[in-house]
Structure 1
Amino acid sequence: MNKKYGKEILIGIVPVLIAFLFFVGVNPVPVLLAGIIGVSLLLMVRMRSGGGIGVGESRKTKAKLPSFLTFDDIGGQDRAKKELIEALDFLMKPDLIKKFGIRPLKGILLTGPPGTGKTLMAKAAAHHTNAVFVSASGSEFVEMYVGVGASRVRELFKEARTKAQKENKENAIIFIDEIDVVGGKRDGGQQREYDQTLNQLLTEMDGIHTSDTPRILLIAATNRKDMLDSALLRPGRFDRHIQVDLPDLKGRQHILQLHSRNKPFAEDVLLDDVAAQTFGFSGAQLESVMNEAAIYALREEGQFIEQRHLLSAIDKVMMGEKTDREAANEERERVAIHELGHAIVAEKVRPGSVSQVALSPRGQALGYVRHNPQGDKYLYTKEYIEEQIMIALGGAAAEEMFYGGRSTGSRNDFEQAMGLVRTMIESGLTELGIVDSQMLTKEEYGKANGEILEELMTRTRNELSTHRRVFEQSLEVLTKEEVLSGNRFRELLRDALLPTA
């Protein structure tokens, strides 16, 4: 029957059928009611199965769209990816691992700082193994009603098995993000909702039989591994713990390349320089740098993203957007003196390290000093940490030299300095020797902290006292132009150190 005229033919048949029933002496009302009910049920079934007019077509189209993620789309985690792929091969090659008597893994725990790609790696694992992917967050299992969290754990594993059977797949991956919410250390009380949920999760993991089909693999992510219960971490549950660290220089270059594929860049853009200046950035922060750089180019109605846009994006991700706060001249000069103090000390202890001195407010900072990349460092000597503390104290020392006292602008500098002192004490780099910092009393810790900071503050004051001319010459340029490049600053520093005639 032609669909175009189907409705018209149906409408024409109905009155003829009613007339025929009257003619033969049959009451047409029950027949009409049965017909209406039958048509309604048919429409409901078609809508639920995606066969409704328009709706079914859109659902089928949506299902065909590619939504997978591969390991090649994740940058900066070569070691972690290699370790995870090896574990996934246990799912994909059951005959080979059976030959060597290997027990397939039940659980894989991804640990590391936020934004390093733990969730992305779990999704890529599902695509790599052609497995069903079911995900949940730890917070979804936490309820005030006893037993709700445990039942949701059961439903999650049941959903994975059912979905795999429907799609005729041999493997299913369950991903639980922020597992520390539900898998935290138990305190002995068995009536707490958290404990019941964790107990159910342990039971489900014990019930995973590696010879069953579909095979279940649990992948979880956390940035607080120290908070997890020991029963969850033991072999036979989470068999493999994979550290997903912040990317190194090579990894940052790879991540930036991945996020630059759909962006127009000027010919002089050097992503390697951006990678060098973003030490300590996570993959999420690097993606944000590329996105913010594109936004800066769009604001200026430019055709391409330039290097200056990328540098501004780095500052924004680190400190926030520029603000419209207008400080009084006296306050601006004080901020300039403060930042020049940081810059002068940095140049004296690490020549060539200053990239830019800025007076423009950004985020909570009224000014800042950008430093040139010194290369990725993971080990620090006592001398290096002391130099870093002196750079942090340079701003406060400069204010004391010119104004006779400090301001609240040194608060973050002091927090950074005290954090570095704590690192020295815990690493055995102080006169205290090798000690357990938790066994030190507050008085002992405070005395050691005060002595170290006072000694380094004295060295910082002595260093700055011989560079008053640098302050005077640089202050005029900085307050007028608001930005002082590293090369220009070094020229002023050299000129100020020349003997006067």
Structure 2
Amino acid sequence: MMGWIVGAVAATFLFLGYLGVPLLPLVVLTLIIAAVTFFSSTSGGRLGVGKKETIQTNESVPNLTFDEIGGQKRAKNELIEALDFLIHRDHIDAYGIRPLKGILLSGPPGTGKTLMAKAAAHYTDSVFVSTAGSAFIEMYVGVGAKRIRKLFTEAREMARKKKKKNAIIFIDEIDVIGGRRDGSQHREYDQTLNQLLTEMDGLSSEQDVRLLVVAATNRKDMLDSALLRPGRFDRHITVDLPDKKARTHILHLHLHTKPLSADVKIEKIAEETFGFSGAQLESVANEAAIYALRDEEREITQHHLSLAIDKVMMGEKTDREATQEERERVAIHEMGHAIVAEFVQPESVAQVALSPRGEALGYVRHHPGSDRYLYTREQIEGQIMILLAGAAAEQVVFGNRSTGARNDYERANQSAQLLIESGLSELGIINPDWIEKSSLQAEASRILSSLEERTIHQIEQHRHVLERGLYLLLKDEVLQGDHFRQLLAQADEWVR
């Protein structure tokens, strides 16, 4: 087709040239028309002509079921109850219940919000249309609103084509277009949000295709109140980080197809991954398999899973070469963390390592123990002491400190702030906004100075453990938790 067009244009130019018509203006005009046509067709119709705009979709009903999603028992039950309103229409009519129009899934990244939306489509036998909030943001006013209208139209058409009665529209990152309106945002943002609200208000159970909007965000506090009110997103479901039982379930799901050694204890891996999301747990399983492949092992061992946890938590080992002086300082620093960690929470140290990983030159991996969501003053103070112990050990051995404690100090200050704002400091129950910053800083400094004295005292009592640990870390680069506790036990016997 293109060849015929080029041939016709060339023949036309030859004929006009034969007649004596000036060709330069025609050539310029032809090039302009060709450029406009090309850019319009390759920009997805951004200029209003050319290629049809597309939205990321999945025309078939997803095969994913709720049973295939690890953990999230409470969130799944809440979502299933809401979906039953869509399925059992006669029941809700009998009770005069208004059908739900929208469900908002909120929670940290990687917790399975998208998976929950796909499982919802499978559960309700609905076509699934997915997109992200960023797909609607353009510099041209009105484009985002047009795409919202198109999204709802395509969902209905797709359901009719597949002969389905229901369709689920999933909008990820809804905070991008649904942020609070304060008059300072771009007009395009407001028009896009207004169009979404209009489309949701127009949803009715009397339509031949029933639409349900499912949205996900990890910043619910930023959403506009117009989105959150009843009649739009009626159900707000929190998809939180999994607890120990849920982590065990998720690990079983991701590891059951992999060749596991008999020594693998999934419950132990679940204990060591407190705070991990479902996506991170999947990565642990995958990285463990990669480590086994590297070692040319036929089965994944507990050691491979332990390495995978370290990689997901702190990154891959690096080729960064430290000087002998730096290695000694890092070893002493990490041994300080480990000594105080055992004092604060016995049996908590899993490993002390002197190998660069991610941004760290060394690290201590802890057994977090049972999941904990509330903390006492003593527990927070213990965490602060662990954070201060690295620099304290450097001070005891070398007589000075390094910049390696910068991140420790930042986290220690945050913990001191938590003590103050929770009413657990000497200031008592306060409103931080009513107190001068200098007073808050003075109280934080008092807390940190007092705990630092206690930390240094603990380090000095176990100085010979520092020296022995230094030798072992420089020699083997890794000191396992059980071996480390043997050193502490021997030191306590010498003291007695």
TM-score norm. by structure 1 comes to 0.85
Partner of 1:477: 472
Find the aligned partners of 2:130 and 2:59 in 1 and give their Cα distance: 20
Gaps in structure 1 of 5+ consecutive residues: 1-62
Partner of 1:87: 82
Question: Aligned in 2, Cα 1:65/1:297: closer, same or farther, shift over 3 Å?
Answer: farther
Question: Aligned in 2, Cα 1:65/1:139: closer, same or farther, shift over 3 Å?
Answer: closer
Partner of 1:106: 101
Q: Which moved more, 1:89-98 or 1:259-268?
A: 259-268
Contact 1:106 1:210 in 2 (8 A): no
Gaps in structure 2 of 5+ consecutive residues: 1-57
**Letter of the structure 2 residue corresponding to residue 82 of structure 1:** N
Cα drift, residue 481 of structure 1: 1.1
Cα drift, residue 191 of structure 1: 6.7
1:183 aligns with 2:202: no
Number of aligned positions between the proteins = 439
Question: Aligned in 2, Cα 1:173/1:474: closer, same or farther, shift over 3 Å?
Answer: same
Partner of 2:125: 130
Partner of 1:170: 165
Partner of 1:149: 144
Cα drift, residue 235 of structure 1: 0.5
Deviations 1:210-234 (CA, angstroms, capped at 9, x unpaired): 2322111000000000000001100
Partner of 2:220: 225
Find the aligned partners of 1:192 and 1:64 in 2 and give their Cα distance: 32
Find the aligned partners of 2:346 and 2:272 in 1 and give their Cα distance: 17
Q: Which moved more, 1:91-100 or 1:414-423?
A: 414-423
**Letter of the structure 1 residue corresponding to residue 373 of structure 2:** Y
Find the aligned partners of 2:222 and 2:72 in 1 and give their Cα distance: 24
Find the aligned partners of 2:242 and 2:233 in 1 and give their Cα distance: 24
Partner of 1:26: none
- Alignment match of 2:300 (pick from 293, 296, 305): 305
Q: Which moved more, 1:442-451 or 1:103-112?
A: 442-451
Cα drift, residue 500 of structure 1: 7.3
Partner of 2:66: 71
**Letter of the structure 1 residue corresponding to residue 214 of structure 2:** I
Cα drift, residue 327 of structure 1: 1.5
**Letter of the structure 2 residue corresponding to residue 472 of structure 1:** E
Contact 2:59 2:127 in 1 (8 A): no
SS in 2 for 1:88: helix
Contact 1:107 1:239 in 2 (8 A): yes
1:268 aligns with 2:263: yes
Find the aligned partners of 1:199 and 1:78 in 2 and give their Cα distance: 34
Find the aligned partners of 2:298 and 2:185 in 1 and give their Cα distance: 63
Find the aligned partners of 2:365 and 2:445 in 1 and give their Cα distance: 28
1:210-221 aligned within 5 A: 210-221=205-216
Cα drift, residue 432 of structure 1: 2.0
1:328 aligns with 2:296: no
Q: Share of identical aligned residues, percent? A: 65
Find the aligned partners of 1:64 and 1:363 in 2 and give their Cα distance: 41
Question: Aligned in 2, Cα 1:71/1:500: closer, same or farther, shift over 3 Å?
Answer: closer
Contact 1:190 1:196 in 2 (8 A): no
1:281 aligns with 2:276: yes
Question: Aligned in 2, Cα 1:471/1:190: closer, same or farther, shift over 3 Å?
Answer: closer
SS in 1 for 2:130: strand
Deviations 1:422-464 (CA, angstroms, capped at 9, x unpaired): 2212211112222233443321221122111111111111121
Find the aligned partners of 1:164 and 1:489 in 2 and give their Cα distance: 62
Cα drift, residue 189 of structure 1: 5.8
Find the aligned partners of 2:199 and 2:239 in 1 and give their Cα distance: 26
Partner of 1:368: 363
Find the aligned partners of 2:459 and 2:450 in 1 and give their Cα distance: 15
TM-score norm. by structure 2 comes to 0.86
SS in 1 for 2:322: coil
Question: Aligned in 2, Cα 1:468/1:440: closer, same or farther, shift over 3 Å?
Answer: same
| Superposition CA RMSD, Å | 1.7
Partner of 1:55: none
Partner of 2:405: 410
Moved over 6 A (4+): 63-66
Contact 2:340 2:459 in 1 (8 A): yes
Partner of 2:115: 120
Contact 2:167 2:212 in 1 (8 A): yes
Cα drift, residue 497 of structure 1: 2.6
Deviations 1:106-154 (CA, angstroms, capped at 9, x unpaired): 1000000000000000011001100011111000000000000011111
1:456 aligns with 2:451: yes
SS in 1 for 2:171: strand
Find the aligned partners of 2:204 and 2:127 in 1 and give their Cα distance: 17
Contact 2:137 2:144 in 1 (8 A): yes
Deviations 1:232-252 (CA, angstroms, capped at 9, x unpaired): 100000001000000001100
Cα drift, residue 65 of structure 1: 9.6
Cα drift, residue 164 of structure 1: 1.0
- Alignment match of 1:290 (pick from 267, 285, 293): 285
Question: Aligned in 2, Cα 1:497/1:484: closer, same or farther, shift over 3 Å?
Answer: same
Find the aligned partners of 2:232 and 2:420 in 1 and give their Cα distance: 37
Deviations 1:272-328 (CA, angstroms, capped at 9, x unpaired): 110110000000000000000000000111101110000000000000011122212
Larger Rg: 1
Deviations 1:371-411 (CA, angstroms, capped at 9, x unpaired): 12311001100000000000010001011111122111101
Partner of 1:51: none
- Alignment match of 1:318 (pick from 301, 313, 319): 313
SS in 1 for 2:110: coil
Deviations 1:38-61 (CA, angstroms, capped at 9, x unpaired): xxxxxxxxxxxxxxxxxxxxxxxx
